[in-house]
Structures are given as C-alpha cells and as structure tokens.
Amino acid sequence: MEKENEIAEKLKKHLKNNVFEVKIPRERRIFVKIGKTALKDAVKYLVHELGFTHLSTITGADTSEEIELIYHLAYKGSIELSLKTTVPKEKPVVPTITDIIPGAVLYEREVHDLLGVAFEGHPDLSPLVLPEEWPERVYPLRKEYTLEKLRKLTESTES
Amino acid sequence: MRYGSIIKVPFGPQHPALKEPENFMFEIDGEIVVGVHPRIGYNHRGIEKAFERRTYLQNIYLAERICGICSDAHTTCYTQAIENLLGVEAPPRARYIRVIIAELERIHSHGLWVGIAAHEIGFDTLFMYVWRDREVVMDLFETLSGNRVHYAMNTIGGVRRDIPADTVPKIKHGMDFLEKRLKYYLNVVQNEQTILKRTSGVGILKPKDAVELCAVGPTLRASGVKNDVRVDDPYAAYDEIPFNVVTHDGCDVLSRIIVRCEEMLESINIIRYALDNMPEGMIRVRVPMAVPPGETVSRVEAPRGELIHYAKSNGTTKPERYKVRSPTLGNIPALCKMLMGAHVADIPIVLAGIDPCFACMDRMTFIDDKTNKKWVWTMQQLRRKTRK
Amino acid sequence: MGLDHATIKEKDKKMTTETFLIILQILVFPGAFFLFALAFLYEWVDRKILARIQSRYGPLYTGPSGILQPLADFLKLLSKEDIVPMAADKILFTLAPVFYAVLPLTTLFIVPVASQKSLVMFEGDLIFVMFTSALMILTVFIAGYSSTSRFSLIGGVRAALQMIGFEIPISLAMIGPAIAAGSLSISNIVQWQQTSLQWTVWLQPIGFAVFVVCSLAEMEFVPFDIPEAETEIVAGWRTEFSGRKLALLRLGRDLELVLASALLTSLYLAGPQQVWLIPPVVTFMIKTAFVVLMFSLLRAIFARFRIDQMVSGMWKYLVPLAILQVILIQLGIGR
C-alpha cells in the first residue's frame, strides 16, 4: 500500500483543496474525487508526472442531480486510479483530455452519446453506438429514461 | 502521392470479411487507404441498462452472454467485482478452477482467431487444421461444464462445478496433443513464404502509438510493451502460478500471430501447473442477496486484452450502475492508426489482427429485447442504408 | 457419261454419313458432351483432393463418393432466380457468362483428347490458344465492368492486372515445345513427342514449371485467386451473377481446368497415346487427372498473394525463367 499512499499524497499536494475525497479500499485501487475545474490539470499531472499513461475507460453515471464522470487510469498496467468528478445535469460540459491521451477519443464519444455530456475540444463527437434515427437529446443511460419510455420514444420515430 | 480522385469504399455492416457487423468507411486512393471512419453499434443490446434492472445473481447470466468467445472472462470480472463489494473472497480451490477455465478459454479463443486470420489471407488449409485441433478444447469444455460455449462455471462466491479428479488425465492428454500441434503451427507461421508476405510488415503499430492510443492485449504486446493484467494486477490464483508474459518486437500482424500462438503455449503450462497444485477445499461460499453500498473496479486479462468492469452498489439487490469496457473498444483507435497507409487488400487481415469482438464492444444502452419487431426494423434500416 | 442416280445417291449417302459423324464427334465424343462430363469429373477431383488435404470429407452423398455433386450444383443453379442488377449493362452482362463458358470449350477442340489428332487442327493453332486465353481474361474484365458494383469492378480490374503478369511467361512456355517439335500445331507437338519418344517435360523442365505456375494464375487458383478474393471483395467479378449465368460461370471455370490440364498434357506430357491395349483417351484422362491433382495440391498449401506482389513476382521471377528456357532451347538443350 506504500506506492498507493505515495501517489495519493503527491496528488493531494499538487491539487491542494480541489481534492474532495481519497479512498484506498485495497492494494492497487485508488478512488479520488476532485472538483470539475481541476480535471484537466489532474489528468496532466497523473499522465506526465506520475506515469499513469494508460486510460482504461471513462465511466459516466447518472446520480439524479448530477452526472458523475470517472476516469480510470492505470499505472504500469498495475495500479488503477479512478478519478471522479461531477457535472450538473442542466449543463454537462467538461474539457476534453484527448490532447493529453489520444486514446480517450472513443470513450468520450461514448459518454456523450449515451449520457449527453459535451467534451469541449473533442475532434469529433458524432454518435458512436446509437443509430442515426435515434431521437435527439434522448440519452438512454440517464435514469429518467426507463425501458418503457425508451420504447415509446423510438416507436414514434420508427414510421 | 495522389494519382486521382479518392474513392469511398464501405466495409460493412455486412461483408464476408466481417464475422460481426460493424461499419468502416474507408477513403481509398488507388489501392491505398488514406482515411478511416469507424461507426460501431450494430450489435447494441442494452446490456448496461439491463444490468440495472436485474438482481446480482441474474446478472451473472447477462454478463456471460455479452460475448460467446470470451464469456468466462466477463463472468470472472463480474463475480470478482461483486465479491469485492461484498467483502468476500472466493476459496482457494475456486480460484484455481477459475484460472484453469480462463486459460482454456484463452486457448480456444486464440485458436479460433488463428484460423480466421488464416482464412482472411486465403490460407484455408491452415484454417481447417487449426479449427479441427481446437475441437479438443471444446470437448474438454463439454466434459467439464456440459457446454461448448457459455460454460456457466463462475458464480458470486466461487465456482459452480468442481473439476473431478478423473477428468484431470483427460485434460492433461488434451494439453499434450495441443502442445505438439501448436509448436507445428508456430513453425508454419514463421516459415511459410505466402503467410510471411501477407503479414510481415503489415499493419504497423509503433510502441509509442500503442501506449498513447491505450491499446490492450496481444495487440499491445506485439508492439513490445510488456503489460498483462494477470501479472500487473493479479486476480484469481495468478499470483501463485509462474508464467511468462509473451511480447514481440515486430509491431506487425505477424507479431500478433506469433504472440497469440506463444500465449497458447503458455496457457498450456499454466493449466498443467494449476492442475498439479490445486488445493483441496470448498468451491464456493454463500453470499447475501443485497450488496452494501460501495463502488469497485475489477480487471481481467481476457483473450483480447484488458477487460474492465466498474460497479456501484446502493444497498439493494440490484446494481446502481454497471459499466463494461471490452478490450476491442480499447483497440479501435490503434486500429485506425494501423490502417492508414495500408493496401485495400490488407484491410481484412489488419482488422482481424486486433481480434475484434464486436458483440463484446457494442453492448450499450439500447432496447434490449431481441424478439420484438424493433430489432428487425433496425436490421432492415441498416440493409437499406448500405445499398445507398 | 455423267453420274447416274445410283452413284450420286452413293456419294450423297457417304457425305451425309461423314457430316453426321463430324457432328456427332463435335457434340458428343470427344466433343462437347464428353468435355462437359470431364469438366464435372475434374471439379469433383479438385474438390475431393482439397477436402482430404484439409482434413474434411468433401462431396460425399450425391453418387458414389459424391462424384455427381458438381452436376447437382450445376442443375441447382440453373433452376435459381437470375437477378440482373439495375445499373448493369444488360447486353454485356448476359453475354459475358456465355463467352466465358464457350471460349474454353472451343479451344478444347484444338487439343488432342482422344487421339494424336485433335478435332480441329491447323498449323498455328497454338497461337489460336494464346488468343483465346487473352479473350477469356477480357471476358472476365467485361463481366466485372458490366456488373457496375464496387466489388465486381475491383475484381475485374484485378483480373486484367493479373493477365499483365502471367500472359508473357505462359506464352513463352508454350513456345518452347513448339520450337522443339518444329511446329505451331498442338497435334504435331504431341505427335513429335510420341514418335521421338521424349516428353517435353524432361527436356524443358523450367518451361514446365513456368507453365504450371502461370496456369494457376490463369485459372485464378490460390495463390492467385486475387480477382475473386472472398474475404476482400465478396466474390470479385462474379459477385452479381446468379442463376443460369452463375451456372455458366461455374461450367466455364471447370472447362478452364480441363483446358489447362489438357494443354499441359499435350505440350509437355505427350498427350493421348495408345499404351498396349489402353485406348488413347484413357491415357489422356490419367495424365490430365494427375495434372489436376498437382493443381489441387498447390491450391491447398499456399495463402493468397496481393495483386502487386503477384505482378511484380511474375515479372521478377517468371519472365526471366521463361526467357532462360527459350535461350536454352536455342542453344540446343531441350530440343
């Protein structure tokens, strides 16, 4: 747990009061919650200074009032750090990290497609997995869209 | 150098080169690719949303059916995640059994892939031979679990079936046979002129690009980067079993073939070691239905690369949020990079080189019942689109 | 005093019998009907050998050991719906399969099948063979072009490109035996081999090898099945054909196989010859079956080349070898 603690300390020192919460539930797993404004800075620091070069994926989750974004970064494929931040649902905008990690391009597109989060500066936010006939602004992974509601909505675009 | 106008050639969604539907729009100048635009999602089934509506036990069946070829990897990842949330650990014997099944699956998946890669470059004889030998693994699965696919071995808290002592000689016999055949195929692949001409120097992915584009699995290891979740982030019984991580420096399709063949040989050794050193004891522990609130990240080295699941529980019997990222999605940006500047004739083999599993990759939120006419409607729309 | 009725009737009768005999020969034996049967037989041989090498059964149920399978496939295709793409050039699209089947058939009349002399023979019929080979490739290109689908177009173009690769070496390989025999007629070449008791294959092994490799390319066998590479361009130039037209394409392909093996047999393996009590047609069939076996074997053990690799390989290796063979002949080796 030494390395994990070391990383957590370094991150706290770098981001100062933008770090809201740090959890180390077991070896090789760190969960850090930060403020939205510190996101890009945190990613840059983790990738360039701390050696978290691999982005496993970006998770988006609907927590009724907000949308939570979790960036899963890996250090040498070993330690997985989940960087959490939230955006308000009415205006879900966040800067892109594709200039730091080119491999994030499809993960951001996926979150945009299914949850409606806009990533400023992303080269191409066209739909990734939803079909072209899908109704606009219907984001399936949001909690307000139950299965029955989705069926009704897409039924009307079928004809 | 540009000779004339650029032709746009669609690849998919239905195409004989693709075993599963996906759409790539290629911009071609003569016979060279100058632009790649992937459009995935034809295998949408709404699994992530479906996870939220089912209990944790029911979700094991759902997780297994994310993919037919790497079903065990998904259930291993899933059960590990839930066990983590519950704060339980599978008993030692169960962990060894998980390793054995996972490695058998790796052999079957890589074997299937080698056959398909051979077929893509027109070498049907090799395809027929490899698939014939792969039947040994399929028969073993049938003996151990009753199924050739979807073995349903994992459950939350351990495994559902034991490996009885009288099947061990059968498994070992199968492994001996496969080892001989694999050594022969490795030899063929590295020395047969027509294979070399079609795969050597094709689909180059430099190590720097592989890391920047977050590639995973054999695709990453064939560019010389030594990352393997079984060693870096051990799970099940992998921390107790010695084995080698296979890498290769060629960065081309040939390296990917060699890496997978050698990984199959490593898997055989892992299975033998696991069989010899399997501890006695229980194969599962009982777990409660409701999972206390929490979140966890679970990672597994599926045959195609790093598989990651993220789970968030809220104290009920159903998950709050479940996220799956399959290895193939992680390799698509790297794939696009590989295809730039390639010949049209090389597209199928480079595409096959990342071992794409679009069933795994596309499962996202959509409509989840396949039987009602909505699914049929979508397919009709897709077909109409491709004829335009 | 002129011819009376009886003599005229005699002469007429003789002519009609002769004409009748010629028609019978062209249509039945050793003409069209026999050649069709041979085409189906050799397709079965090829499929069976390929299957056994690949550890499969191959055709199994129709007829003893599946020997009637090619015929069954042909008849089935004839009864299927014939779809013509809307944008296709209808005339060319319909004519192409017909030519594709008829050209090898016509060419086969020049090759000795049942005796030392072929049905049609004239000095220079070897050149005629080269001419029809080129025509066949042109037909393939037209078939692909008139289909106006992306895949057919690419396939047709690739076929034309392939021809640029193998046409010269195969022509040179055909000239070799002609020089040795001192005649440009296939029947004379066969005769020369039999009377001088030497088979060209021993005299000109390089030419033989070149001919075999180029035949694979002409028949679009692996490793040269580039124009119809299934995994890349669906079925290449054949993609849009169905029903009767596809049946004709299949027949044409089988006839091409017969033609290639028959040519190889005549030019290098001394063609049909009477051995003790065995009639010439049987030795012909044995020799050509052996050639088909060789083709199938080669088909099974290679992967497919890329078009640029094929053309550059042809020009880098096969053209020099073919020229070398001709030079050797001029120097007296291989006559």
A78 shares contact with chain B (CB less than 8 Å): yes
Condensed to tens digits (0 to 9), the pLDDT of residues B275-305 reads 999 999 999 999 988 899 999 999 999 999 9
B215 shares contact with chain A (CB less than 8 Å): yes
CB contacts of B48 in chain A (<8 Å) are 141
Which pLDDT value is given to residue B161? 92
CB contact under 8 A, B308 and A56: yes
Task: For residue B123, give the nearest of C53, C234, C303 by CB distance.
Answer: C303
Q: How confident is the model at residue B385 (pLDDT cuts 50, 70, 90)?
A: very low
CA distances to A80, B189, B223, B261, C123 from B185, in Å: 37, 6, 21, 8, 52
**Single pTM value for the model:** 0.82
Contact (Cβ atoms closer than 8 angstroms) between residue B92 and residue B77: no
CB half-sphere exposure, C334, CA atoms < 13 A: 23
pLDDT at residue C59 greater than cutoff 60: yes
- What's the rounded mean pLDDT across residues B151-177? 93
CB contact under 8 A, C302 and B123: yes
- Picking from B116, B45, B94, B131, the residue whose alpha carbon sits closest to that of residue B326 is B45
In the block, which residue shows the tokens 């580039």?
C226
Contact (Cβ atoms closer than 8 angstroms) between residue A105 and residue A117: no
Interface with chain C: mutation pick from B197, B254, B347, B350, highest number of C CBs within 10 Å: B197
A123 shares contact with chain B (CB less than 8 Å): no
Residues 272-301 of B with CB under 8 A from A: 294-297, 299
The SS3 call for residue A84 is strand
Angstrom distance (rounded) from CA C271 to CA C199: 9
Angstrom distance (rounded) from CA B255 to CA B338: 14
Condensed to tens digits (0 to 9), the pLDDT of residues A25-70 reads 888 999 999 998 989 999 999 999 888 999 999 999 998 889 999 9
- What's the rounded mean pLDDT across residues C36-51? 92
Number of folded domains that form chain B: 1
Residues with Cβ within 8 Å of residue B253, at least 6 apart in sequence: B117, B199, B200, B202, B203, B349, B350, B353
Which pLDDT value is given to residue C79? 92
Residue span of the structural domain in which B293 resides: 48-325
Please give the residue of chain C at the shortest CA–CA distance from B130.
C54
CB contacts of A25 in chain B (<8 Å) are 294, 296
Task: For residue B122, give the nearest of C150, C222, C309 by CB distance.
Answer: C222
Q: How confident is the model at residue C234 (pLDDT cuts 50, 70, 90)?
A: low
Residue B168: give its domain's CATH number.
Answer: 1.10.645.10
**Domain A2-129 grouped into CATH 3.40.50.1110:** no
The SS3 call for residue B68 is coil
Q: How confident is the model at residue B11 (pLDDT cuts 50, 70, 90)?
A: low
Asked whether at least 3 C-beta pairs link B and A within 8 Å, the reply is yes
Q: How confident is the model at residue B136 (pLDDT cuts 50, 70, 90)?
A: very high
Which pLDDT value is given to residue B370? 30
Contact (Cβ atoms closer than 8 angstroms) between residue B57 and residue B156: yes
In a domain, B387, yes or no: no
A157 shares contact with chain B (CB less than 8 Å): no
Contact (Cβ atoms closer than 8 angstroms) between residue C173 and residue C328: no
| Inter-chain contacts counted by CB atoms under 8 A, chains B and C | 67
In the block, which residue shows the tokens 């190889």?
C264
Which of the other chains make 3 or more beta carbon contacts under 8 angstroms with chain B? Answer: A, C
Task: For residue B128, give the nearest of C56, C154, C226 by CB distance.
Answer: C56
Share of chain C above pLDDT 70, in %: 96
pLDDT at residue B371 greater than cutoff 80: no
Query: How many helices (H) and strands (E) are present in chain C, helices listed first?
Result: 14, 0
Which pLDDT value is given to residue C228? 66
Q: Which residues of C touch B (CB under 8 A)?
A: 53-56, 150, 154, 222-223, 225-226, 229-232, 234, 300-309
CB half-sphere exposure, C146, CA atoms < 13 A: 17
Condensed to tens digits (0 to 9), the pLDDT of residues B209-235 reads 999 999 999 999 999 999 999 999 999
Q: How confident is the model at residue B351 (pLDDT cuts 50, 70, 90)?
A: confident
Quote the distance between the C-alpha of residue B117 and its chain's center: 15
Residues with Cβ within 8 Å of residue C35, at least 6 apart in sequence: C105, C108, C113, C255, C258
In the block, which residue shows the tokens 């890996």?
A74
Residues 155-214 of B with CB under 8 A from C: 192, 194-195, 197-198
Q: Between C54 and B376, where is the model more confident?
A: C54
Q: Would you mind telling me the total number of residues written for chain B in this entry?
A: 388
pLDDT at residue B241 greater than cutoff 90: yes
Q: How far apart are the first and last CA of chain A?
A: 58
Q: Measure in Å the smallest separation between the Cα of A5 and chain B Cα atoms.
A: 17
Calculate the average pLDDT of chain C.
85
- What's the rounded mean pLDDT across residues A12-20? 87
- Picking from C109, C53, C112, the residue whose alpha carbon sits closest to that of residue C294 is C53
Which pLDDT value is given to residue B365? 23
Which pLDDT value is given to residue B387? 30
pLDDT at residue B386 greater than cutoff 60: no
In a domain, B382, yes or no: no
Condensed to tens digits (0 to 9), the pLDDT of residues B22-48 reads 677 777 776 778 888 777 777 767 788
B123 shares contact with chain C (CB less than 8 Å): yes
Ranking B5-14, B170-179, B296-305 by mean pLDDT, the lowest is B5-14
Task: For residue B122, give the nearest of C53, C150, C303 by CB distance.
Answer: C303
ipTM over 0.85? The verdict is yes
In a domain, B90, yes or no: yes
pLDDT at residue C318 greater than cutoff 70: yes
CB contact under 8 A, A103 and B364: no
Which pLDDT value is given to residue B278? 92
What is the residue-wise DSSP string for B270-311? HHHHHHHTPPPS-SB----SS--SEEEEEEEEETTEEEEEEE
Q: How confident is the model at residue C75 (pLDDT cuts 50, 70, 90)?
A: very high
Contact (Cβ atoms closer than 8 angstroms) between residue B247 and residue B218: no
Condensed to tens digits (0 to 9), the pLDDT of residues C136-177 reads 989 999 998 898 887 788 788 888 888 888 888 888 889 888
- Picking from B62, B86, B94, the residue whose alpha carbon sits closest to that of residue B160 is B94
Task: For residue A128, give the nearest of B41, B321, B323 by CB distance.
Answer: B41
pLDDT at residue B86 greater than cutoff 50: yes
